[in-house]
Amino acid sequence: MKSFLITILCLSTVVLGQSQPAASSQPLIIFDVNLVDTRQGQIVTHATVVVQDGRIQTIARFVPMRTRRPGLIIASGKYLIPGLWDMHVHSAFSSPTWDEKVIYPLYIANGITGIRDMGGDPDLLEQRRNRIERGELLGPHMIMAGPFLAGGKSDAQTIATNTPAEAKQAVETLKKRNVDFIKILDVPRDSFFAIAEAAKQQHVTFVGHVPRSVSALEASAAGQKSIEHLSGILLACSSKEQELRRRQLDALSARDYAGFAALGKEVIATYDGAKAKDLFRHLSKNGTWQVPTLVWTQTNASLDDPALAGDPRLKYVPASIRKEWDPAKLLKGTSTEILQLQKVEAARDVELVRAMHDAGLQFLAGSDGPDPYVFPGFSLHDELEWLVKSGLTPAEALQTATLKPAEFMGKADRYGAIEAGRVADLVLLDGNPLEDIRNTRKIAGVVLSGTYYSGADVDKILAQVGELASSR
């Protein structure tokens, strides 16, 4: 250990001795920080982290250092976590589309250095991702699905998959386009299994909603890697699953949307704990991840909350989109019965996540922003809070946005932990997130691929976004 400390001290001296290096290669030393070990859920006190060329080069315990040099951050009393990942966003989907200089900097300002884009305009997404990676646009790393696979008609962000033949062709098309994964919405039953088979043959991951005509157990067994929004889970836990699925499909076929919504009460009322336990056992065995997006569910259940219109984060929402978020406008198309059902389902989802967590299932943190009042960047912190309210410890909740995304993506050698050799995506906090997950909001600085943004820089980013949003 002594020789290791001498090595880091010598390295630090060499690094700090460089004068006015190029911005892209300037070394960074985060000195005397409380390092959050996301693997063990522990704090390593008095750590020194050396970053160079966008990577974590070395980590050591406290090293005496008296001289202040460029690139040295004195972080005594602060906490360092890996950069966060929001594993369910739509950064080029809503209409009108969010300005790239508004939405992406909001992620960085909130310590989110990576996103999983779950569907949108593929050309626009590729263009934006390339600009981010070239350093032309401030934003997070991105993995993307491109267009959805869904029943109905094709458009700029959807590929129609109404038949098995269409489904197979869609998977082949997206594979050639080199998407990172495939996202499905509600597709016909035979199309779903055709997607699953084609994805297996093409060696591409598929994720998304559980279609109405398919059970969650069938989707998991077919290889769906993640289930979004807990779709299909409650129905799969019902003692009347088959009957209720048939009645739901009949209601949808008849365009009886009120009748379809009313069946939700029966789904909740017929929850079978033993059946749920067996389902969770199979989901765990199959390695099916859950992205519950609780913040999205809770927000939809709170559209009648008068506090929504006064949310201070609205200043970061483009003015044109802010008009679409008017609560009165959103409530106009939502009946009292549906809103009440959304409230019941939101409360039930918290208990459902608790039960799934107790059964050992794996979770990823996702917000589903920017849906109305699901704020890009900010709402991931809300999601972490909801996961803790649902039974996860703060350490486990933090893992859902750091270590677990890295494992899910097969990039555990690059992201998710503060270890030598990994990409230098880091967040400096003013509080311990393992004591209170809300401390992930107390951002004192962000490191993105080795570039450091101080707290003052973050404030400036937010101010610029707010100003730009008001004119968009």
CATH number at residue 144: 3.20.20.140
Cβ partners under 8 Å of residue 324, min gap 6: 372
Among residues 222, 223, 267, 217, which one has the least CA distance to residue 246? Answer: 267
Predicted pLDDT at 405:
98
Tell me, yes or no, whether 44 and 145 share the same domain. no
Residues 242 and 384 in one domain: yes
* 338 and 226 together in one domain: yes
Q: What is the CATH number of the domain that holds 442?
A: 2.30.40.10
Spell out the residues 6+ positions from residue 9 whose beta carbon is closer than 8 angstroms to its own.
63, 64, 65
Mean pLDDT of the region 64-71: 66
pLDDT digits (tens, 9 = 90+) for 430-467: 999 999 999 999 999 999 999 999 999 999 999 999 99
Which residue range forms the structural domain that includes residue 162? 85-409
Choose the final residue of a domain: 386, 409, 432.
409
Of the chain, the end-to-end C-alpha distance in Å amounts to 55
3-state class (DSSP) for residue 339: helix
Distance CA 91, CA 96 (A): 12
**For residue 308, what are the CA distances in angstroms to 94, 330, 421?**
20, 12, 43
pTM: 0.93
My answer on whether 67 and 195 are in the same domain is no
Task: Look at residue 103 and tell me whether its pLDDT is greater than 80.
Answer: yes
CB 224 within 8 A of CB 196: yes
Q: What proportion of the chain, given as a percentage, has pLDDT over 70? A: 92
In this structure, the answer to whether residues 52 and 136 fall within a common structural domain is no
pLDDT band at 64 (very low <50, low <70, confident <90, very high): low
For 291, the enclosing helix (H) or strand (E) is strand 289-291
Cα–Cα distance, 57 to 422 (Å, whole number):
8
Does an H or E element contain 218, and which? helix 216-221
Kindly state the average pLDDT of the residues 218-233. 98
From 14-18, 257-261, 315-319, 429-433, the region with the lowest mean pLDDT: 14-18
Whether the upstream peptide bond of residue 140 has omega within 30° of 0, thus cis, is no
Q: CA-CA distance, 365 to 220, in Å (whole number)?
A: 19
298 and 204 belong to one structural domain: yes
C-alpha distances in Å from residue 470, one per residue of 318, 320, 375, 465, 467: 6, 9, 15, 9, 5
pLDDT, tens digit, for every residue of 154-201?
Answer: 988 899 999 999 999 999 999 999 899 999 999 999 999 999 999 999
Question: For residue 348, what are its two tokens?
Answer: 């039930």
- Residue 51 and residue 113 in one domain: no
* Ranges 123-132, 224-233, 308-317, 329-338: which has the least confidence: 329-338
Structure tokens belonging to residue 97: 């589309």
Q: What is the per-residue pLDDT across 343-395, written as a single tens digit (0 to 9) for each?
A: 999 999 999 999 999 999 999 999 999 999 999 999 999 999 999 999 999 99
Nearest by Cα to 305 from 341, 330, 335, 337: 330
Biggest alpha carbon–alpha carbon distance for the chain: 75
Structure-block tokens of residue 431: 């509080």
Give residue 249's pLDDT.
Answer: 95
Residues 285, 358 within the same domain: yes
Would the pLDDT of 101 be above 80?
A: yes
DSSP 187: -
The residue whose two tokens read 């059970």 is 215
- Residue 206: pLDDT over 80: yes
The average pLDDT across 396-425 equals 98
pLDDT at position 50 over 80: yes
Burial 410-419 (b: 16+ CB within 10 A, else e): ebbebbbbbe
Stretch among 67-81, 258-272, 421-435, 450-464 having the lowest mean pLDDT? 67-81
Number of domains making up the chain: 2
Is residue 25 scored above 90 in pLDDT? no
Token reading at 73: 């951050």
pLDDT in tens, 286-295: 999 999 999 9
Q: Are strands 42-52 and 55-61 parallel, antiparallel or unpaired?
A: antiparallel
The pLDDT, as a whole number, for residue 336 is: 84
Cα separation, 300 vs 319, whole angstroms: 21
- Nearest one of 144, 153, 88, 103 to 121, comparing CA atoms: 144
Question: Does the pLDDT of residue 401 top 50, yes or no?
Answer: yes
Query: Angle CA(367)–CA(373)–CA(376) in degrees, nearest 5?
Result: 50
Looking at 365, 389, 409, which one is the last position of a domain? 409
Does residue 272 share a domain with residue 139? yes
60 and 94 co-located in one domain: no
pLDDT at 11: 39
List of residues 6+ apart from 66 with CB closer than 8 A: none
Residues 24, 158 within the same domain? no
At 374, give phi and psi (nearest 5°): -105, 100
Among the candidates 374, 409, 444, a domain finishes at: 409
Residues forming a β-bridge with 43: 36
- Examine the domain organization and report whether 388 and 278 are in the same domain: yes
CA nearest to 186, candidates 252, 257, 246, 235: 252
Residues 186, 236: Cα–Cα separation, whole Å: 16
Tally Cβ neighbours within 10 Å of residue 260: 18
